[in-house]
Amino acid sequence: MSARLQHKTALVTGATSNIGRAIAVAFAAEGAHVAVSGRSKERGEEVVAEIRALGGTAKFVPADLDGSAAASRQLAEEAGRALGGRIDILVNNAGIYPSPTTPDTDEETFDRVVAVNMKAPFFLTAAVAPAMAASGGGAIINLGSWIARLGISRGALYSSTKGAVETFTRAWAAEFGPGGVRVNAISPGVVQVPGHASEAMMAGTPAGTVGSPEDIAQAAVYLASDEARFVHGITLDVDGGRTTAAVIAA
């Protein structure tokens, strides 16, 4: 274990699988005390056990972030207690990805995706950021997506919510930065998910292959650490060049 986040506390939403899990484990490996949040107690406790086996400290804090302000406030309060009274780092990672075409998206799905992907991080940040500022500062990291800026034929709803998250990031940097709270975002590229073959989506990119959750986690460690103390309001692309460069065969 190194110590880039030593003596810091961190709340990671959607931390029971994939990118969120990798971020929670990476934060703990850097010395942070982590609140692992998600809907599944079983998976949450597995993440906590993994962190503790590696010598880190973590607690599971259950939450169903349905988009209501009440659910977000409750998580902020419970995570704060679990972490000893303060949250130094917040990672807004929880999200859902139904990907029907626009004509096939019903109103119920629309409202649910907006609630989880936009309203939940909005109200969680509203609950956490002022307390961060009052305690001397902190770092908020939002998870965007590469398809927020590169149109694909499915998932217009999901991509629009991630575009909103990137807009939140810039606005919150201006709103909370003067109080010592740094707000930034990560835009992951195509990341390997168990049971899904995604290699074809990275054809013609500089990386030429999918990324791993750990690739995203290391970017989160940087943005959460004091090494990024002069970084405000950015969206860091960690996407193997998917949105920035095309490799053309000679």
- 163-181: pLDDT as tens digits: 999 999 999 999 999 999 9
Q: Is 210 helix (H, G, I), strand (E, B) or coil?
A: coil
What is the average per-residue pLDDT within 41-52? 98
User: Any idea which architecture 9-238 has in CATH?
Assistant: 3-Layer(aba) Sandwich (3.40)
Residue 94 is predicted with a pLDDT of 97
**Higher pLDDT, residue 99 or 175:** 175
Q: Which residue among the candidates 27, 60, 122, 158 is catalytic per the annotation?
A: 158
Percent of the chain surpassing pLDDT 70: 97
Q: What span, in angstroms and rounded, lies between the C-alpha atoms of 221 and 4?
A: 8
Closest CA to 47 of 79, 95, 88, 12: 12
Average predicted confidence (pLDDT) for the chain: 94
pLDDT over 70 (residue 4): yes
Closest CA to 56 of 15, 2, 93, 92: 2
Q: Which residues make Cβ contacts (< 8 Å) with residue 155, sequence separation at least 6? A: 97, 99, 147
* H or E element at residue 92: strand 89-92
What is the average per-residue pLDDT within 135-152? 94
Residue 11: pLDDT band (50, 70, 90) is: very high
What is the average per-residue pLDDT within 66-88? 97
pTM: 0.95
158 is catalytic: yes
Q: Which residues make Cβ contacts (< 8 Å) with residue 176, sequence separation at least 6? A: 129, 132, 133, 140, 183
pLDDT over 60 (residue 1): no
